[in-house]
A = this chain, B = another copy of it.
Amino acid sequence: MPDRAGGRLTFIIGGARSGKSAHAEILATASPSPWAYIATAQAYDDEMRERIALHRSRRGEGWVTVDAPLDLVGAIEALPNHQPVLIDCLTLWLTNHMLAEHDIEAECRRLSDALSRPRGPWFVVSNEVGLGIVPDNALARRFRDAAGRLNQHVAAVADNVLMMVAGLPLKVK
C-alpha cells in the first residue's frame, strides 16, 4: 500500500552534505519494507567508492539496492507497484548521461514522464548546483543548466518538495 499521507512523489533537493540522502531514508522507511534503493552513482574513483560505501553501510536491513547509472526509467518500471522507492540521485544520473554524450533533453523528458505516473511512494534526491558563481568552463555551465531544468520538471510533478538546509527540511511545496 502506498503511503498516502506522505504523498506519491517527494522531491528532496539540497546542496552537498546537506543531509538529503539521510532525510530521504527516514521518509522512505516510514512506509513498510522492503524498500528499494535505486543508486545512480558509478564508482569510477576512490572518492566516489568511499561515498557509496558510506551510504550503503548507513542503510540497514530491509533495503533492496538496484544500480541504475543510466537506465533509471527501466529500473523504476521493473519495480512492483507501490513499493517505496528512494532514487539517489538525479544529478549523478544526469552526469552519467552527459559523460556518455546522450540526448539530455530527451532523457530528462522520459524521466519526468515516468515520475509523473501514479505509483509510489517515491523519494527522489537531487542536488541544487545553481547558487554559486557562473562556472568558468562551458561543460559545467551546460550541466548546471540541465540540472536546473530537470529539477524544475521533477518539482512540477512532485506532491512534496523539500529543500535541505544543514540537515533540516524546508518545505517548498
Asked if A130 and B161 sit within 8 Å, CB to CB, the answer is no
Q: Is the interface of A mostly helix, strand, loop or mixed?
A: mixed
Q: Mark A118-134, 1 if CB is under 8 A from B, else 0.
A: 00000000001111111
CA distance A168 to B171 in the complex (A): 11
Of the listed stretches A36-44, A59-67, A79-87, A149-157, name the one at the interface; the rest are far from the partner chain.
A149-157
Q: Mark A62-97, 1 if CB is under 8 A from B, else 0.
A: 000000000000000000000000000000000000
Interfacial chain B residues near A134, Cβ < 8 Å: 16, 129
Asked if A144 and B133 sit within 8 Å, CB to CB, the answer is yes
Q: List 6 A-B contacts (CB under 8 A).
A: A16-B131, A47-B138, A132-B135, A133-B135, A133-B144, A152-B166
CA distance A167 to B18 in the complex (A): 20
CA distance A11 to B168 in the complex (A): 12
Asked if A18 and B132 sit within 8 Å, CB to CB, the answer is no
Min Cβ gap A140→B in Å is 5
Question: A2: CB under 8 A from chain B?
Answer: no
Question: A28: CB under 8 A from chain B?
Answer: no
